[in-house]
């Protein structure tokens, strides 16, 4: 009744939560709203930069007589006769059928579009007008916990160490077009400045809620302007309270430096081409610290310790973990994880 994998791992280690460190592929979701026009079809191969959809920036409703054959989600365009005296040079009104009632269609329509480009190479698995589309990536994925902004693509640059912090004045215009790894945390001002300098994205261990909110407000102001803003994505790897990038993740990012990578938002992940980046396989007794004062470090499993008393008068199931040459220390099992 035990986990078959447990036979190859030290006793007790199977009680530690496990998750996949790198997914061989990811189904990236791009939400669409009623009126947005998909420009790809299911089964189609896509490469980075190919337009996936035209997003309506000023969607509104119109009411037109229904015609035979249309159904919700279909595209609608005005027949030439319906365009009155505007002539053939007038813009061709086009929209999406929402529903029919009383012999009339409600159409989502608008004039201003912005193109959404694919950040990754892959195959379109599903297209649902007004709902979203799914692309199965050709590349592998490193999970984050949160992504803000757009899906974005660029070459990966390491700007700071795993426990570093990037200040606004440290940003360099030479990083335009890059996705920067910026260490433990970043503030909203640095994010806003990075976007303004043409940087394509940021990968960070943690983003405090206040900076998240300030950045999103700044982005909303940018989007309300008439011109299209370049794609800029933020991938948060671990959470909200400051901590370094986990050792395993940092080692992978260092190996990806200089290569083209992409940030996707749903699910939040960094997508990369695994060619030339062979996976590092953890030894069977390797354990990673995911929370607590030692978050980010990795050590060796030294045994299940049972129920232990920890600070604050708490009694928790614990494990012994050895860091380097130091003596093993007892840590709550909830602070640990296995990466497979």
Partner 1 sequence: MSGEARAFYAMDLGVATTAVALVGRVAGRLRLLGALSLPAGAPADAVLAALTARFVASDPLLAAALQTESSDRWPRLTARSTPPVGLAVIAATERSLEPLVAAGQRTGWRVRSGSAERLDSLALSSLLLDRDVRTILVGAGEPAAADERNALGSLAALAAAAASRRPELTVILTGAMAEQAPRFAAAPDRPGEVLLGPAATAGAPPGTALRELLGRARGGADESRPAFALGVRALAAALDRRVEGIEIGLDGGVRVQAGPGRTDEPGNLQWSVHASGGLAPIEPDEASIDGVLAWSTVRLDRHRTRDRLRDLRLLPWGHVAGEGAAFRLAAARAAVARLVAATPELSALPPADLLVVSGGAFAVAPGPAIALAVADVVRRAGAVQLAYDHARLLAPLGTIGAAPQRLAVVADLASDLLVPLGSVIMPQGMRAGRSGGRLVVHGTAGSSELDLLPGGLELVDLPPGETAVAEFEFRDTVRLGTRGRHFAIDVAGGLGGLLVDLRDVPLRLPDRPDRRRELLAAWQGALWIGGEP
Using CB under 8 A, pick the residue from 50, 64, 138, 145 that binds partner 1: 145
Q: Does 248 bind partner 1 (CB under 8 A)?
A: no
Query: Quick one: 277 or 316, whose CB is closer to partner 1?
Result: 316
Q: What is the C-alpha separation between 286 and 264, in angstroms, rounded?
A: 29
Taking the complex as a whole, the smallest distance from the CB of residue 272 to partner 1 amounts, in Å, to: 23
Considering beta carbons, is residue 138 or 330 the nearer one to partner 1? 330
281-300 positions binding partner 1, by CB under 8 A: 290-292, 295
Nearer to partner 1, 63 or 280 (CB): 63
Rank residues 3 and 280 by Cβ distance to partner 1 and give the closer one. 3
CA–CA gap between residue 52 and residue 119 (Å, rounded): 10
List phi, psi (to 5°) of 284. Answer: -60, -25
- According to CB under 8 A, which one of 20, 75, 92, 210 is a site residue for partner 1? 210
- Told to check if 229 binds partner 1 by CB under 8 A, we report no
Instruction: Number of residues interacting with partner 1: please give it, by CB under 8 A.
Output: 60
311 counts as binding partner 1 under rule CB under 8 A: yes
Decide if residue 72 touches partner 1 (CB under 8 A). yes
Q: How many residues does the chain have?
A: 340
Per rule CB under 8 A, is residue 328 in the interface with partner 1?
no
List the x/- string, 74-103, binding to partner 1 by CB under 8 A: ------------------------xxxxx-
Residue whose tokens read 């570093």: 164
Cβ neighbors of 212 (< 8 A, separation 6 or more) are 146, 148, 188, 240
Q: What is the binding site for partner 1 (CB under 8 A)?
A: 1-3, 6, 12, 14-19, 29, 31, 33-35, 59-61, 71-73, 98-102, 106, 108, 128-132, 145, 208-210, 239-241, 290-292, 295, 304, 309-317, 332-335, 337
């Amino acid at each position: 009744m035990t986990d078959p994998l447990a036979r190859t791992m030290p006793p007790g280690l199977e009680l530690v939560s496990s998750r996949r460190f790198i997914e061989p592929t990811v189904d990236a979701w791009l939400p669409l709203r009623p009126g947005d026009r998909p420009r790809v079809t299911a089964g189609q191969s896509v490469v980075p930069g190919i337009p996936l959809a035209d997003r309506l920036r000023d969607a509104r409703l119109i009411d037109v007589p229904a015609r035979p054959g249309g159904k919700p989600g279909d595209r609608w365009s005005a027949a030439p006769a319906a365009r009155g005296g505007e002539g053939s040079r007038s813009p061709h009104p086009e929209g999406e059928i929402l529903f029919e009632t009383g012999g009339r269609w409600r159409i989502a329509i608008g004039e201003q579009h912005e193109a959404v480009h694919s950040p990754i190479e892959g195959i379109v698995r599903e297209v649902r007008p007004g709902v979203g589309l799914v692309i199965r990536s050709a590349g592998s994925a490193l999970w984050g916990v949160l992504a803000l902004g757009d899906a974005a693509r660029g070459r990966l640059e390491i700007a700071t160490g795993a426990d570093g912090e990037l200040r606004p004045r440290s940003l360099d215009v030479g990083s335009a077009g890059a996705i920067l790894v910026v260490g433990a945390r970043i503030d909203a001002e640095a994010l806003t400045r990075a976007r303004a300098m043409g940087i394509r994205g940021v990968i960070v261990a943690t983003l405090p809620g206040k900076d998240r909110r300030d950045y999103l407000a700044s982005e909303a102001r940018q989007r309300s302007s008439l011109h299209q803003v370049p794609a800029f994505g933020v991938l948060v790897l671990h959470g909200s309270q400051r901590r370094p990038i986990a050792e395993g993740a940092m080692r992978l990012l260092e190996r990806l430096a200089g290569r083209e990578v992409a940030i996707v938002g749903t699910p939040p992940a960094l997508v990369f081409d695994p060619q030339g980046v062979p996976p590092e396989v953890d030894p069977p007794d390797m354990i990673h610290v995911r929370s607590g004062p030692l978050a980010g470090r990795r050590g060796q499993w030294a045994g299940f310790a049972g129920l232990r008393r920890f600070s604050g008068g708490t009694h928790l199931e614990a494990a012994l973990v050895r860091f380097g040459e130091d003596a093993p220390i007892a840590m709550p099992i909830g602070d640990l994880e296995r990466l497979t």
